[in-house]
Structure 1
C-alpha cells in the first residue's frame, strides 16, 4: 500500500469521526434547548445558563481542534467515544443543581440517556456499563449535594424511585448498546474475512498455484488486451512482441531427479524471469514448463535481446536439487505482432519459432 493511499484512508476516517462528533453536538444542542426553555420558564437563573453555554463551547472547540490537528490519532480510541459521551454530562449536572423543580432534572436524565447510545458505535459491554454507572453516580452525587445544601428542593421518596428507575434504564440501554456494538464488531470481522476470501478466490482463479505467476487464462487475456492496444496505436517503430519459453529437457529432469526437484526448478525459473523482464512486461505460465512473455512497446531489435537476457539468467542459475555442474536451460521463440492479425496467429508464429529453437539444439532464442 502506498503512502498516498494510507493518507487517504486516514483522511476518510477523520472525516467520519468528525461527522459522528457533529451528531454528538446535535444531541447536546437538544440539552441546550432544554436549558433555554427552563430559563425562559423562570425555573433557572441566568448565571448557570451562561456557564453551561461557555463550558459547552469550550469543550466542543477543544474536541474539534484535537481532531483537526490529528492529536486523536495518538489515542487508543481515535474516535474519543467515551470522552464525547461523558463531557456533556458535566455542564448538565452543574445546571441541574440550579433547577428548581425535580421534573426539570428528570428532563436532563432523559437527554443524557440518549447520548449513551453513541457508545454503540465503538464501545464494548464493560465500557458501556462503566459510562452508565458514571452517569448514575453523577446524579446520585448531585442529589446528595442538594440534600446537603438545598434540602428544601429534595423530596427523598421521589428521588429514591428516580434513582432506582434511572439505574434500571441505564443498565438496559448499556446492555442493548453493547449488544449492537458487538454485532457491528462481528459484522466487521465477517466482512474482512469475506474480503480476504475474495482475494484468495481471485488468486486461485488468476494465478498458477505452483509458481504464483498468472495462469494461462490470465496471461492470454493480458495478451488480448495488449493486442487491442497495439492495434489502436499509430504506426511507428514500437510494436508488441512476445516470446514463448520452454524449459529444455524438463521431462527428463522430472524422471531423473523427481517431481519435487522439477517443481523447485519451475519456481526458481519463474522468479528469475520476473526479476529479469522490464517493468511493464508481463509473464505467465501457460502449461507445464511453458511460459508466455509479453513485451509491449518493443521492436525486433529489442525483443530478441530481452529474451536473450532471460535465457542467460536462467542458464546461470544453480540448483541444490541437481548434481553440481548440471545446467537448466530454456529455448524461446520470439515474434512481433503484425497489425491486422489475430493473437492466435501471432502466438502460433512464436510457438513455431520455439520448436525450431528446440530442434536446432535448444538453449537459444529464435525470432520469427
Structure 2
C-alpha cells in the first residue's frame, strides 16, 4: 500500500473542514428559520430580515471561498473555528435589535449557545471563554443600545436575570467544551504515539537492527514472492537470480579489531550493497556476516556482472577502524532460478556456490 501523499492529506483535511463548516451553516440555518418565524408572526419588519439573510449568505459564501481556494491554509487555525462561530452572530445581533418582544430575543441566545459547542472540535479553554464572553458582551451592548434608543422594549428586571443566566450557561458550556477539546487533543496525541509505536514494532519485526536491512524472515518472504512470480511468467530472456554473499574472514576481523569494528564494517558493507544494486533488486541480512541478494528480471548472463559490481565496490571501501592496508572482501555464490524449482533448492545451489568461492580463495563470485 503506497503512503498517503502530502497533497492527499491536505485534500482530506480540507474535505473534513468543509463538512464541519456545513454543520455550522445548518446551525445558523436554524437561526434563519427563527427569524422567518418572527417575521411571519409580526414581531419583525421586513427590512432587517432581508439584511439578516443577505449578510448571512455573504459571510457563508466568503468562508466557503476561503476554504475552496486554500487561503485558510495560511492561517494559524486552518479550520477558522473562531471565525465560523463568531461571524454569524453579527447578523443575529443586528436583527435582535428589531425584535418587538424581549422574549423573542431569548430565541437567539439559545441558538447562539448551540454554535458555541462547535468550539469543542478545536479550541482550547482560553479561546472557548473568549467566545463565550464575546457573546455575552454582545448581548449586553445590544440591551444598552435598546435602553438608550427604544426603552419601551427593555424590561431591566427580566434582562438582568437573562444576562446572569446567559453568563452562567455560557461559562458552563465553555468549560465543558474546552474539556472535551482537551480530551480530543490527548486522544489524538495518544493515537499518534500508538501509530509511531506500531511502526517501530513493524520495523523491529522486519528489519535487522544493526544494518537496517530487511532481516532473514523478511528477505526470505520476498524471495518466495519473486520465485512465485518468476514461475508464473512465460519463458523468456529474463529470469530470477540470487546471490548469497559472505564477508571474508569476518571472525578474524572481530577477534583482531573488536566487535565494534565488525559492527561498523557490517553497516558500511550494507550501505554499499544498497547503493550498488539496481532499483527493484532486494538485499537482506540472513545472519552474521551473510546477506541474500535478489535480482528479479535479470538476464542469466547479467547476474554474475551484477554480483561482481558489488564485490568490487566492497573491496574499494576503506575503514577507519582497520589499518589502511587492510581490505575487506566478500565472496558470493550466484544461482539462477529454474522453472519449477523450489525456494530451498534454489537457495541451496547459491549457498553451495558460495562455499566453493570461499574454498577457492575467497574474494570472488561463483555461479551455482
Q: Per the shorter chain, which TM-score range?
A: over 0.9
Return the alpha-carbon distance in structure 2 between the equivalents of residues 260 and 59 of structure 1.
66
Q: Give the aligned partner of residue 337 of structure 2.
A: 337
Return the alpha-carbon distance in structure 1 between the equivalents of residues 21 and 324 of structure 2.
69
Q: Give the aligned partner of residue 90 of structure 1.
A: 90
Are residues 1:295 and 2:295 paired?
yes
Return the alpha-carbon distance in structure 2 between the equivalents of residues 3 and 90 of structure 1.
44
Residue 6 (structure 1) shift = 1.1
Unpaired segments ≥5 residues, structure 1: none
Return the alpha-carbon distance in structure 2 between the equivalents of residues 287 and 4 of structure 1.
33
Tell me the matched-pair count: 367
Q: Report the TM-score, using the length of structure 2 for normalisation.
A: 0.99
CA contact (8 A) 1:335 1:367 kept: yes
CA contact (8 A) 1:299 1:336 kept: no
C-alpha distance after superposition, 1:199-245 (max 9, x if no partner): 00000000000000000000000000000000100111111000000
Return the alpha-carbon distance in structure 1 between the equivalents of residues 3 and 350 of structure 2.
41
CA contact (8 A) 1:334 1:354 kept: yes
Q: Give the aligned partner of residue 316 of structure 1.
A: 316
1:321 aligned counterpart, secondary structure: coil
Return the alpha-carbon distance in structure 2 between the equivalents of residues 317 and 324 of structure 1.
10
Q: Give the aligned partner of residue 216 of structure 1.
A: 216
Q: Give the aligned partner of residue 59 of structure 1.
A: 59
Return the alpha-carbon distance in structure 2 between the equivalents of residues 257 and 177 of structure 1.
64
Alignment of 1:1-368 (within 5 A): 5-368=5-368
CA contact (8 A) 1:207 1:214 kept: yes
Return the alpha-carbon distance in structure 2 between the equivalents of residues 307 and 104 of structure 1.
86
Return the alpha-carbon distance in structure 2 between the equivalents of residues 309 and 3 of structure 1.
32
Return the alpha-carbon distance in structure 2 between the equivalents of residues 58 and 255 of structure 1.
79
Residue 9 (structure 1) shift = 1.1
Return the alpha-carbon distance in structure 2 between the equivalents of residues 263 and 7 of structure 1.
40
Return the alpha-carbon distance in structure 1 between the equivalents of residues 4 and 62 of structure 2.
28
Return the alpha-carbon distance in structure 2 between the equivalents of residues 27 and 4 of structure 1.
33
Return the alpha-carbon distance in structure 2 between the equivalents of residues 47 and 238 of structure 1.
81
1:12 aligned counterpart, secondary structure: helix
CA contact (8 A) 2:284 2:293 kept: yes
CA contact (8 A) 2:241 2:337 kept: yes
Residue 28 (structure 1) shift = 0.4
Q: Report the TM-score, using the length of structure 1 for normalisation.
A: 0.99
2:334 aligned counterpart, secondary structure: strand
Return the alpha-carbon distance in structure 2 between the equivalents of residues 238 and 211 of structure 1.
30
1:241 aligned counterpart, secondary structure: strand
Residue 4 (structure 1) shift = 8.1
Q: Moved runs in structure 1, 4+ residues, more than 4 A?
A: none
C-alpha distance after superposition, 1:55-107 (max 9, x if no partner): 00111111111111111111000100000000111000001000011110000
CA contact (8 A) 2:213 2:284 kept: yes
Return the alpha-carbon distance in structure 1 between the equivalents of residues 62 and 266 of structure 2.
61
CA RMSD in angstroms, aligned pairs only: 1.0
Residue 364 (structure 1) shift = 0.1
C-alpha distance after superposition, 1:168-197 (max 9, x if no partner): 000000011101100110010000000000
Return the alpha-carbon distance in structure 1 between the equivalents of residues 3 and 50 of structure 2.
46
CA contact (8 A) 2:238 2:300 kept: no
CA contact (8 A) 1:230 1:239 kept: yes
1:98 aligned counterpart, secondary structure: coil
